[in-house]
Amino acid sequence: MKRTIERVFRGAPEHWVGNGFRVSNYFPAATDFDKRMSPFFLLDYHRPKAYAPTTERRGVGTHPHRGFETVTIAYQGAVAHHDSAGNGGVILPGEVQWMTAGGGILHNEYHEQGFARAGGVMQMMQIWVNLPRRHKLAAPKYQALTNSSIAETALPGKQGVVRVISGAFEETKGPASTFTPAHMLDVRLKPGAQVRLPAPKDYNTALLILQGQVKANDSPAVSEGDCVLFKNDGDEVRVDAVTDAIILFLSGEPIEEPLVHYGPFVMNNIDEINQAIEDFNAGKFGHLPD
Ligand code: MN
């Protein structure tokens, strides 16, 4: 059964993250819902934006996280990343970095040096995926999901592709290992294409349009920048592309636990937030130069 649309909304006015990422927040800040997208806690979208060549470092310096995972998807440009667990790398267009902050990590995120020197268009997304209580203090880890590792299903009649980052689409499973079940799909459609995306009944489900125009479950057309949140009243989302379109589809099993957010920490209660601040100040998140 097809889900009905709960609401269509747009991101908050853009703001800078550090000096390198100009993003629009879709949730939680731009919305009045708190856990409506759980297990996804936050979504920041960096629309295509041209940067002039520079020798300056653009991005966000070393900062901590605890209690969740950060998922960074590059669409255009190149993002370099280092963390206190000793991981690092460059996220190129089409690639995804899935970082588990768990019990505590320090990391930094910059425009990759060669990209910064040449200048060019950056387009990327960062999603925070909450962790359930029993995994909040999991050991930090990092999954580099390269283009060759991301499972891709071609739609019949050359109508487009569904790239599976996590979860599954039809028989195709995504490479990311997750702590709670979640479908994260990068969907690229040709005009007239139709695709049925999996939205198990209780999973919180939304799609964000990055490019073009689509109809979702017979809605009026929605376009670039629109986010469509679905009611939890069916098990399928049908998308019809009006034009060439790129959408990000999220559907995940909610984490039914209390949640307290403070800056870079997402925990279950205020005592755990205070503990995170104390541990960070005591240097327990490790060490990482800027
Ligand atoms: Mn970060």
User: What is the distance in A from the centroid of ligand 1 to the CA of 30?
Assistant: 19
User: What is the distance in A from the centroid of ligand 1 to the CA of 91?
Assistant: 14
Full-prediction pTM beyond 0.85? Answer: yes
User: What is the distance in A from the centroid of ligand 1 to the CA of 36?
Assistant: 22
pLDDT band of 1, cuts 50, 70, 90:
confident
pLDDT band of 289, cuts 50, 70, 90:
confident
- Chain-wide mean pLDDT for the chain? 96
User: What is the distance in A from the centroid of ligand 1 to the CA of 183?
Assistant: 22
CB 127 within 8 A of CB 42: yes
pLDDT at 115: 98
CB 74 within 8 A of CB 94: yes
User: What is the distance in A from the centroid of ligand 1 to the CA of 20?
Assistant: 13
User: What is the distance in A from the centroid of ligand 1 to the CA of 113?
Assistant: 18
DSSP state of 157: G
CB 185 within 8 A of CB 164: yes
User: What is the distance in A from the centroid of ligand 1 to the CA of 275?
Assistant: 19
User: What is the distance in A from the centroid of ligand 1 to the CA of 194?
Assistant: 36
User: What is the distance in A from the centroid of ligand 1 to the CA of 159?
Assistant: 36
Residue 83 has pLDDT above 90, yes or no: yes
pLDDT at 139: 97
Closest CA to 239 of 201, 279, 192, 176: 192
133-148 pLDDT, tens digit each: 999 999 999 999 999 9
Q: What is the mean pLDDT of residues 56-85?
A: 97
User: What is the distance in A from the centroid of ligand 1 to the CA of 87?
Assistant: 14
pLDDT at 106: 97
Only one residue has tokens 């996280």, namely: 65
Distance, in Å, from the CA atom of 75 to the CA atom of 28, rounded to the nearest integer, reads: 22
Q: Which stretches of the chain are DSSP H helices?
A: 113-118, 270-281
200-251 pLDDT, tens digit each: 999 999 999 999 999 999 889 999 999 999 999 999 999 999 999 999 999 9
User: What is the distance in A from the centroid of ligand 1 to the CA of 237?
Assistant: 31
Distance, in Å, from the CA atom of 72 to the CA atom of 153, rounded to the nearest integer, reads: 21
Distance, in Å, from the CA atom of 194 to the CA atom of 247, rounded to the nearest integer, reads: 13
Burial of 71 (0-12, 13-18, 19+ CB in 10 A): buried
156-208 pLDDT, tens digit each: 999 999 999 999 999 999 999 999 999 999 999 999 999 999 999 999 999 99
